[in-house]
Chain A
């Protein structure tokens, strides 16, 4: 629904809400994004390379099942990587199509109201549409049996798109591919649909035509909302290009469409088709050319990766000077002073290692200076929030007991003294309760200095 913020819940509003589950499975449970360089743990769970590396640095456990795991055991999840990339290429067109369908159904429900509101617009129709109107009468009887749904879509979904139609018409060529694209995106009655169209990338466009040809059979059952005005309600929309045709011309037209659709698709097929098919190596050149060269490089080969992989190291064995040297070797600043220098530098090195190693797995590896910027940004984001008092209390239990050890020891000694004194006095019956009371009194006595100390 929202182009800038794709989410599995987008599918809830479509006629196929089950796609929500599909997309959820294609998303990393840590960052909730579609997998980036997916890695599978030894327990079989999949995460983004960077996400699982960060998690393992934090706790050495699989986030899903809590089984212990370590970074060197992570393996590429190639199938998931391909699934994500092909899903990502069809996502927009699939969603647009389904939303349009649902939208059409809803609009049909308010048909009457809509009609009165939009009639002036309908009169501004192009000659192209008027031509179709003339044959409407002929077409009507034939289309009756063709399910009411189709007709309702026809009559209702076109109003909004009409505003955006003239520019499209002017750019429309004989290519059926372009037509079909216009057909799928224009019917969405969502305010930002126009922007989306402007942003349409060649890759998406071609993938859509691919998608359409693959699901052509389905489309024939009128999953499309056509783009002609109200009165054409009894005309057939070509399931491929969405043009309105009457009964006598629809069949030859569809045939031509199929031919037309088939012929353009091989052309962009090899180049862009690879990008949707998702074989990582073949895909690269296509995507890569779209990216700024100052930001990315070609993906690493397996050998390069193994060679460049940074080791994790061990916090307690590492010396501050070594950490500094490593960071400097990578061109990272070490301008840290104060009590926790080593800890800060170590954290920085860990995050750098995570970023670096995850970047090796990426299909679009970033250049080093971009990574360093990311490291700095990440550190800033960590600095903005400190752990709350509640958490500290739990996490620093040891420190707490160390600080107050003298107090606790004194308490225990006092309690023991009291017990032995009581025994000497020989009041055996009330011993337990008395000693408890004594200990309590001592506790109260100890309490106040403790509080002052804290």
Chain B
């Protein structure tokens, strides 16, 4: 798929990404045919399955209820042996998400397993929204306010979310 690859070996160019793209095609099929509520995901470009955009809807009974958050997925060449890089592209105010949208979630790092997929990541993120790990925060302010000052948390979250529009 890269330029160099296709010039070196045009024939092999299509087969060398089969591992990743075939698997991603399957996942896309799965997501299209039986989507889980409150999540969606789709490749940015039909020719390049290695970059996706996903959305999750904040779960009810959380600060994020009713809000929609966009994420970007970038898949490495050895996916699913390595996890995708997942970022919040919608401005986020959450203890385990930093201001650049980077996420601290064990299954995206050392707890990753090849049997996880986009859908399981999205579900994990949805539950992370409701149950942050306040012990290892990326956003200290959010972690502090989460329990201590729900009102202020809500205000800052709203403010961040406004930046999206």
Residues of A with Cβ closer than 8 Å to B?
5, 7-9, 12, 29-33, 51, 54-55, 58, 61, 63-64, 66, 373, 376-378, 380-388, 390-391, 394
Contact = CB atoms under 8 A, between A and B. Distances in A.
Contact of A12 (B1, B25, B34): B34
Nearest to B15: A377
Interface size class of chain B, counting residues whose CB lies under 8 Å from the partner chain: 35 or more
Contact of B33 (A9, A51, A376): A9
Contacts of B29: 5, 7, 9
A32 B26 contact: yes
16 contacts: A5-B25, A30-B115, A31-B22, A31-B23, A33-B22, A55-B81, A58-B81, A66-B111, A373-B12, A377-B12, A377-B15, A378-B16, A380-B9, A381-B16, A390-B85, A391-B109
A64 B77 contact: no
B82 interface: yes
A294 to B, nearest CB: 16
Interface string B1-17: 11001001100100111
Nearest to B102: A390
Interface of B: 1-2, 5, 8-9, 12, 15-20, 22-23, 25-27, 29-30, 32-34, 50, 74-78, 80-83, 85, 87, 102, 109, 111, 113-115
A390 B82 CA distance: 13
A352 B146 CA distance: 50
Nearest to A55: B114
Contacts of B75: 385
Contacts of A391: 83, 85, 109
Contacts, number: 93
Given A30-B80, A33-B22, A382-B78, A64 B85 contact: no
A376 B5 CA distance: 11
A51 B22 CA distance: 14
Given A9-B30, A64-B115, A390-B102, 10 more contacts: A7-B30, A32-B26, A54-B81, A55-B114, A380-B16, A383-B2, A384-B16, A386-B76, A390-B85, A394-B109
Nearest to B117: A32
A381 B8 CA distance: 13
Contacts of B20: 381
9 residue pairs, one from A and one from B, having the closest CB atoms: A9-B33, A385-B77, A32-B26, A29-B115, A377-B16, A381-B16, A388-B85, A63-B114, A30-B114
Nearest to A379: B16
Contacts of A9: 29-30, 32-34
Contacts of A7: 26, 29-30, 33
Contacts of A387: 76, 82, 85
